[in-house]
Amino acid sequence: MTPVEPPPRPALPLAPQSVTNWTLRRATNDDLDDLTRIAIAAFAYDRQWNYRYPHAAEFPEDHYKYTRIRYGEWLDANTTPRCIIMVAECFSPEDPGGKKVAAFSIWRVPPAHDTTEDDVDITDKLKPPSPNPDRRDASQMHMKAYRLATEFAQTKFFDRLLGHRQISLAQLATDPAYFRRGAATKLVEWGIEMLARKQNLPISLFAGPMGYRLYQRMGFRSVVMATVQVSGEKEELMFPGMVWKDGLREEKEQVWDEEGVPQLFVVAEPPN
């Protein structure tokens, strides 16, 4: 299979699968192909991704090319203290001698949201990608609106609630062939233990319908609902912003309708 062919979309497993033994390690530049492959396959199931890249199936070359450029940028950021990319590996049945990368998480760490002149470039790489008129797989307006909405929600809600010293989980993805085998749970547990608890910092993230239950089970609570809508369009994208913090209290329950649209969200208060 050439890298630009859209990957087959396996049916989602209906129940948890047998738990696999995962090894976690920090990503290196050699992981670029794996990160690109996993992102394209996994995010095909994600509404936030499909909102921004609605023509991915029509233009798989562009989708592959620009996704790979994007993960190259993330890997540049991963060489700085501002970003940590972790990968989860397991023994691969096709290659019993070797390990296969099956999932990854991307963490922004403080001072990810403070900008000094020296690191404007890195700060930009830590945000959702800017519109790019050359890519035919994307909706330029949706990319722009998504970037603005997440920046707005970050400043108005997360920063106001948590201050600038917070960790953000920017991305979490598992190769669909390994869905529901515990890889993402391991990666999030690592972030809670090794980043948040060690430095006594909260974690913020924007959740999609597939990650929502997992985050909730791990103690994240919704604190804001972000809505992205381009003026004049009916289509809108809504997703909760969630926070993990030791001792966070939950007051209301999140409910999603069959379309995956959130109906109610949790109002959470940080502990005193």
Residues at the interface with ligand COA (CB under 6 A): 12, 16, 42-43, 45-46, 103, 172-174, 179-185, 207-208, 210-211, 213-214
Selection from 135, 29, 144 nearest residue 77 by Cα: 29
Q: How far is the CB of 206 from ligand COA (least distance, A)?
A: 7
Q: How far apart are the first and last CA of the chain?
A: 55
- Separation of alpha carbons 182 and 205, rounded Å: 19
Nearest CB to ligand COA, comparing residues 68 and 119: 68
CA–CA separation, 172 vs 174, rounded Å?
A: 7
Comparing CB distances to ligand COA, the nearer of 139 and 216 is: 216
Shortest Å distance, C-beta 199 to ligand COA: 23
User: What single-letter DSSP state applies at residue 11?
Assistant: P
- φ/ψ of residue 222, rounded to 5: -75, 135
Closest approach of ligand COA to the CB of residue 211, in Å? 3
Side-chain-side CA neighbours of residue 233 (13 Å): 13
Alpha carbon 250 to chain centroid, angstroms: 23
Closest-by-Cβ residue to ligand COA is 211
Residues linked to residue 243 through DSSP beta bridges, in sequence order: 204, 221
Smallest separation (angstroms) from ligand COA to the CB of 156: 20
Shortest Cβ distance from residue 11 to ligand COA (Å)?
10
Q: HSE on the CB side for 44, CA within 13 Å?
A: 22
